[in-house]
A and B are shown apart, each in its own frame.
Chain A
Amino acid sequence: MMRYLMPLAIFMVLAVFLLIGLTLNPRQVPSPLIDKPAPKFQLNQLHEPDKIMSSEDNLGKVWMLNVWASWCVACRDEHPLLVQLANSGIIPIYGLNYKDERNTALQWLKRYGDPYAISIVDTDGKVGINYGVYGVPETYVIDKEGIIRHKQIGPVTVDSLEKTILPLIKELQNQA
């Protein structure tokens, strides 16, 4: 009896591991930046290029940093959600316009709506590297002390908003 059950048991264990493997996303790499201070930046603004925004301007509030580009197709998927979220006034969203061209970026925002409190420009992608960006869009939730609390790789979805991001924002906003 044992002799027939053993291979079956081994197969079952293997199958369970493989099934778990199927649900994992190999592109999702856990960021080492979670719970670390958000990398500092001082970047020109997209709409008013002679104005500079510093990451420290946002100390004291919970905010979102959304990395986007006009060439990024998946950004279009998440964009209506971001516009909705911005309109709800729950959290200010800042846009990091990543390796893009100013005019196309501005046109893109005109066409699809502008959810960003401020858009800043990272033309050569250096700030992107500091934030560990490797696939646009990426979205960071940063707390009042300037610590990264969450990183969404790939487009924000209704599911990720409701299950992870919104509850987290609420929790962070309630912290003193």
Chain B
Amino acid sequence: MMRQFSDVVKVTIFVFVLFSIFPLSTWAKEAIPVAEDPEIEKRMLALTVDLRCLVCQNESIADSRAEFSNDIRREIREQIKDNKTDKEIVQFLVDRYGDFVLYNPPMKPTTVLLWFGPAILFSIGLGSLIVYLKRRRLQIEDVSLSQEQLKEAEALLNEDKKGKNV
């Protein structure tokens, strides 16, 4: 009886250890490949790197795990399967979400400031620096000293030397 009991305990422990080593979850499912076709996945990834995830603030759709990005990725995969070109797919998204989905927005009247703003600011800064330096140089005049003034200066310098010797 006692022996039987200890057998039960042994089996229990064995099963317990077994399950700890091979957790059930690993039997449940292999990780699902993101898409069946690696070609499609490659194109999708290349496209989504330059697309903004609208709900996650400064994350690309490629990086984001948001529900929104999942949906867009699925949509892009489907469109690639339908033989749409990259251009068509991007246009599809721009038509719905606006230029804001693009990390590389096109040049348009509304985006001129975005494109040239930094250059304009830089030239303003450079211009004012040049003007400032020129003005400063003008302020420093080369004044030629008269003989008298030179002597005076020399005398002052000598005085200083004497003072130090004392």
The residues of A with any CB-CB pair to B shorter than 8 Å are 26-27, 29-33, 99, 125-126, 128-132, 134-135
Measured between alpha carbons, how far is A29 from B97 in the docked complex, in Å? 8
A134 and B98 contact, CB distance less than 8 A: no
B100 and A125 contact, CB distance less than 8 A: no
Pick the residue among A26, A31, A32, A134 that contacts B68 (CB under 8 A). Answer: A134
B54 and A29 contact, CB distance less than 8 A: yes
A134 and B95 contact, CB distance less than 8 A: no
Chain A to chain B: the 10 pairs with minimum beta-carbon distance, closest first: A132-B96, A134-B54, A32-B98, A29-B100, A132-B97, A125-B71, A134-B68, A134-B55, A129-B75, A29-B98
Counting CB contacts under 8 A, is B94 at the interface?
yes
Where chain B touches its partner, the secondary structure class is: helix
B55 and A30 contact, CB distance less than 8 A: no
- Which residues of B from 95 to 123 have beta carbons under 8 Å from A? 95-100
Measured between alpha carbons, how far is A77 from B74 in the docked complex, in Å? 30
The residues of B with any CB-CB pair to A shorter than 8 Å are 54-55, 57, 67-68, 71-72, 75, 94-100
List the A side residues contacting B97 at CB < 8 Å: 29, 31-32, 132, 134
A-B residue pairs in contact (CB < 8 Å), sample of 16: A26-B57, A27-B57, A29-B98, A30-B98, A31-B97, A32-B94, A99-B67, A125-B71, A128-B71, A129-B71, A129-B72, A131-B96, A132-B97, A134-B54, A134-B55, A134-B97
Additional A-B contacts beyond A30-B100, A32-B97, A129-B71 (13; CB < 8 A): A29-B100, A31-B97, A32-B94, A32-B95, A32-B96, A32-B99, A33-B95, A33-B96, A125-B71, A129-B72, A132-B96, A134-B68, A134-B97
List the B side residues contacting A134 at CB < 8 Å: 54-55, 68, 97
Measured between alpha carbons, how far is A32 from B55 in the docked complex, in Å? 17
List the A side residues contacting B55 at CB < 8 Å: 27, 134-135
Specify the chain B residue showing the minimal Cβ separation from A26: B57
